Amino acid sequence: EPTEEEKLEDVKYLEELAQKRKRRRIIWSSMLAVLVVIGTYVGFGLFYGFGYMNDTILGHPSKTLLEKKEWVTSEYGAPGVTISTPVVLERKDTNLPVELQGQVEEDIFAFGDLKSSFYIMVSTTKRIAEAQGPQADEENPKADPIDLRQAAERAMVRLEDEGVQNIIIKNEQFITPNGQEGLKTHGLADIPVNESGGLAQGKYVHLGFSNEQVLQQIVMTWRRNDTYAEEMVERILSSIELLKIEEEE
């Protein structure tokens, strides 16, 4: 018959054996869980793309904006620019040159800034009636419309003043879904990303609409190769509608 000491040794052996088996089960379970995670990642990665999966897991600012459940459709300025954006644009302070103060009124609404991964600005600049001087004669009752190419050139100068470099310019006609015609200026540029002067390859688009009284502008900038921002820009462009000045008057 086993002695008490032998019995204790047997119990200790069985306990150690149970602990080893438990550790093996934990190791195998952990390995299985890791394999399941890897398999799921690879499967979804092959289906959706690994870049999309990484952006979903780690987060991407443009993807977050694009996939907001409800975009906001709102009218900005007077006369209004109706546009759909991921978030509401905030009113910004205007900084008119001294020579234009008292001659024009300007409303500016924006989200982000040039250093953001995505930036949008909507502005309406309107001549003040009292500052227009004597009315044109009866043979030419209306002043010439504001030159959109000159407006686009001034917008490019403002971008350069804010640190944008190497701007490549393309111009083409742009027509809103409700039939308003304007000028689309777009292309590539190096966009500032921080206060120390760092630059990133980017894209921009400037839209201009005008008549003899009003200039309406929309500016967007984003990082090159940002597919989420590209999709967001296309969605925004297809949402733009302008109140016809004739209807307002």
pTM flag (> 0.75): no
Handedness of CA 207, 125, 155, 231 (dihedral sign): negative
Residue tagged 């302070």 (tokens): 93
Architecture category of domain 61-248 in CATH: 3-Layer(aba) Sandwich (3.40)
Q: What is the largest CA-CA distance in the chain?
A: 129
Structural contact between residues 215 and 77, judged by C-beta atoms closer than 8 angstroms: no
pLDDT on residue 247: 43
pLDDT on residue 137: 47
pLDDT on residue 37: 64
The pLDDT tens digits for 218-246 are: 999 999 989 999 999 999 999 999 876 54
pLDDT on residue 148: 93
Distances (CA, A) of 72 to 65, 69, 77, 89, 226: 11, 10, 16, 9, 22
Residue tagged 């200039």 (tokens): 215
Residue ranges of the chain whose pLDDT lies below 50: 45, 53, 136-140, 246-249
DSSP state of 191: E
Structural contact between residues 240 and 209, judged by C-beta atoms closer than 8 angstroms: no
pLDDT on residue 60: 72
Distances (CA, A) of 6 to 1, 13, 19, 66: 10, 10, 20, 71
Q: At 248, give phi and psi (nearest 5°).
A: -70, -40
pLDDT on residue 42: 61
Q: How many CA atoms lie within 13 A of 183 on its CB side?
A: 18
> Are β-strands 81-85 and 90-92 bridged in parallel, bridged antiparallel, or unpaired?
unpaired
Structural contact between residues 155 and 133, judged by C-beta atoms closer than 8 angstroms: no
> Are β-strands 81-85 and 181-192 bridged in parallel, bridged antiparallel, or unpaired?
unpaired
DSSP state of 239: T
Nearest CA to 96 among 127, 119, 75, 133?
127
The three-point CA angle 7-10-13 to 5° equals 155
Per-domain residue ranges of the chain: 4-58, 61-248
pLDDT on residue 140: 46
